[in-house]
Structure 1
Amino acid sequence: MAYFKYKEILFTPLAHSVETLSYVENEFQLLDDDTVIVSYPKSGTHWMVEILSLIRSHGDPSWVQNIPLWDRSPWIEVDSHLQIALKYPPPRLLSTHLPFQLFPKSFLHSKAKIVCTLRNPRDVMVSTYYFSKGCKDSKDLGTVEEFMESFLSGEVPYGSWFDHVKGWVEIKERANIFFITYEELQLDLRGSVQKICHFLGKELNSQQIESVVENASFHKMKDNKMSNFSLIPESIFDHTKAKFMRKGVSGDWKNLLTVAQSERFDDAYQENMCSVDRTFPWD
């Protein structure tokens, strides 16, 4: 299936349209009590939705067990999800994979809180490679080598990982944006949940935090049909070819990339990220 471009960035026609992307960028109004989960695809978005859903319900898992993830936190740039977002009673929990330059312009005059999750781009690429095999609107990815070149050049849906991260990191001084990495969540989920609560101004007791940590674990999410992507219809995703929740680990790229491919990736990474004033767990 052919992708289309909106302002030089590739999108898939099954989920997106120029009209929706333009509306979200120029007309969508962010409210001061909105919380928006921002991430490049395959960087832990669903995990963060689960965590924030559980924080919102003070650790009570009934919301995450009974309401599909995209109804709890719709993706504003997805055609069908935008309608959910527009009818969502405040305070809204929203999600997006958009780069900053396509994000709602209304953000600049709002107190909406942004939780931005970043992940090692090597793992992002490998996760995307496996996940895309099940997406009905994905083009043939070719070999790992070919897909890596597409990824490094930004010729993939949602564009360049490098541009995405740089765009968001550039506004890191704003008080209403919070950065966390997939790797930090894995290393210390409890500590990460406490930091997120502090940023959101949500005071949870230790028992409630324990419940958030327990119910946002990979195994709990994998068994929860409201969170594990299994409700996505076959017309959109071929569940026999890929699993949305595959491994939930860091460093899986080492099982796929050759030494030469890894060196090629490192070179591109250094070239693209040398100007970024921030260190990451994978640096």
Structure 2
Amino acid sequence: MSDYLWFEGIPFPTAVNEKEIIEEIRNIFVIRDEDTVILTYPKSGSNWLREIVCLIQTKGDPNWIQSVHIWECSPWIETKNGYPRLINKEGPRLITSHLPFHLFPKSFFSSKAKIIYVIRNPRDVLVSGYFFWSKTKFVKNPESLTTYFEWFIKGNVAYGSWFEHTHAWLSMRERDNFLPLSYEDIKKARLGTGRITLQ
């Protein structure tokens, strides 16, 4: 899979990621106490949650998210475009990431910054990922759902193994500044048929 940048066992799309940036994020970037991070495995609802959090921050006023691209409101920390925006951004930052636990900024673990982690049923992540990646030019196109399934099970997809990603991040669930949410619960709450519960 030559379309990936492999870094410490994790495949990243070369179109948006660079090894130097990922290293700098982990070792040097400072997560501030007032920052909020939206963290997911790919295809688990990150863009949906970004819009929800942006609306919460503006007390329901949609002007901000309607006038500013969502990538500006909450940049992806690990991307070539997002990282420079976050370095110089003042005030509380809203940050988005797919980074696995072991590559996340070390500064977070001694901060009071908040992480909202969304987990989604892996079957839905698999199917959504297959259709997303097969229509983009970011990575090698999976020839079939069967092929993508094999890659997914082995962790040979963007951002690595869903199983390792979620297991590592959910180990943080007892921390006060870590909020785990279920994609399925958010969906039920949106439809008025359920409540969001902590995982």
Contact 2:75 2:85 in 1 (8 A): yes
Displacement of 1:138: 1.6
Q: Compare 70-79 and 139-148 and name the one that shifted more.
A: 139-148
Q: Structure 1 residue 28 and structure 2 residue 34: aligned?
A: no
CA distance in 1, matches of 2:89, 2:17: 20
- The match for 1:70 is 71
2:133 is matched with 132
2:93 pairs with 1:119: no
> AA paired with 1:28?
F
C-alpha deviation, 1:86, in angstroms: 1.2
Structure 1 residues 73-130: Cα deviation after superposition (integer angstroms, max 9, x where no partner): 0010001110111122211000000111110000111000000011001000100111
Aligned residue-pair number: 195
Partner of 1:60: 61
> Matches of residues 191-270 of structure 1 in structure 2 within 5 Å?
191-192=195-196
Aligned residue type for 2:106: K
Q: Distance in 2 between the 1:70 and 1:157 partners?
A: 19
SS at match of 2:37: strand
Distance 1:2 1:50 in 2: 30
Q: Distance in 1 between matches of 2:59 and 2:88?
A: 23
Q: How does 1:93-112 map to 2 (within 5 A)?
A: 93-112=94-113
Q: Which runs of 5+ in 1 are unaligned?
A: 197-277, 279-283
Deviations 1:61-83 (A, max 9, x none): 10010000010000100011101
- Cα shift readout 1:219-273 (whole Å, capped 9, x = no counterpart): xxxxxxxxxxxxxxxxxxxxxxxxxxxxxxxxxxxxxxxxxxxxxxxxxxxxxxx
Q: Which residue of 1 aligns with 2:187?
A: 186
Please provide the CA RMSD for this pair. Answer: 1.5
Q: Any idea what the Cα deviations from partners look like across 1:45-76, whole Å, max 9, x if unmatched?
A: 00000000000000001001000001000010
**Contiguous gaps of at least 5 residues in structure 2:** none
- Separation in structure 1 between the aligned mates of residue 3 and residue 44 of structure 2, nearest angstrom: 24
Q: Distance in 2 between matches of 1:185 and 1:73?
A: 20
Structure 1 position 133, deviation (Å): 2.1
For 1:40, the equivalent position in structure 2 comes to 41
Q: Percent identity?
A: 40
Give the partner amino acid of 1:181: S
Which position in structure 2 is the counterpart of 1:172?
173
Deviating runs (4+, > 4 A) in structure 1? none
* Alpha-carbon separation, structure 1, partners of 2:3 and 2:189: 41
Give the secondary structure class of the aligned counterpart of 1:188: helix
Instruction: Give the residue type in structure 1 aligned to 2:41.
Output: Y
Rg comparison, structure with higher value: 1
In structure 2, the partner of 1:155 is 156
Mapped contact 2:5–2:17 kept (Cα < 8 A): no
Provide TM-score, normalisation by structure 2. 0.94
Q: What is the match of residue 263 of structure 1? A: none
Which amino acid letter does the alignment assign opposite residue 17 of structure 1? E
Range moving further from structure 2, 47-56 or 86-95: 86-95
